[in-house]
A = this chain, B = another copy of it.
């Protein structure tokens, strides 16, 4: 496999009888340059398909035109589709600005993959696709003083973040359920260590406060680590006679629905179900599931734009909250 010999800035300068400086300026648009000269250069470049060597440019400018995207490295990631769409959003904006995406994978707060990328100075900035309460990635990036933005909320000082307004969304969904006269709502879900789960739980509690009601702490099933736990808790929830199961996320929701089907308990006739998220996991479910709607691609786009602004030294808002929709479907139809 022989690569075709690439033409360099010197080649085009020679061919046109101008200096490399001039060619460089014609391309970058920086510095004074004659209209006509510029036109000649551009024409030649076009005709001969000259592309500046980005590596050389990087070295000269100490800029890579790469950004690092940190993906979760667990296999059982709750909503892969979210990360995918989000990645597409990031890529769309990055691509438009001639930036490329370098991937780092962060599993259980292990930053070694991220460290390689950053220490090797391969990127101009980083996007974290997920945050933790105790966040090794954030701590690492802050110690390196390299620009980054987090998708999702972070409790750390000075982290530029863009998130969906999970708290409001969950508050609103919960309020609606309460308004629909559900009396015993069980909340079920996984790791409270995820900041997003904290926000969701907060919204859930606020909805109760707003109507002056008490959350039944006995119906809170959090930090469930696996499907077996979920199954067991569903049994308990049914025994306690809850009239609605609210799921912190769709992985849990999917399992809950499976368990209910196994127990031959009908939704929504015998119990209502809703989820604080809407992934494709539940897409084909019968009945359709009441949930929230967030734009994953949109959040990626906003995060990327924010990072690029930071890289270019612009002011950015420290926290951006994106809107949501509450989508009521069959699973919470109340006929009580």
| B-binding residues in A (CB < 8 A) | 1-4, 6, 51, 53-56, 58-59, 64, 66, 69, 73, 75, 77, 80-81, 84-85, 87-88, 91, 95, 98, 100-103, 105, 113, 116-117, 119-122, 144-147, 254-255, 258, 261-262, 284-286, 310
Contact = CB atoms under 8 A, between A and B. Distances in A.
Contact of A122 (B87, B100, B120): B100
A102 B105 contact: no
20 contacts: A1-B145, A1-B146, A1-B147, A2-B145, A55-B121, A55-B122, A56-B59, A87-B103, A87-B105, A91-B103, A91-B105, A95-B113, A100-B102, A100-B103, A102-B103, A254-B284, A255-B284, A258-B284, A258-B286, A262-B286
Nearest to A83: B84
Contact of A121 (B1, B54, B121, B254): B54
A147 B122 CA distance: 22
A95 to B, nearest CB: 6
Contacts of A262: 286
Nearest to A254: B284
A119 B59 CA distance: 18
B100 A116 contact: yes
A256 to B, nearest CB: 10
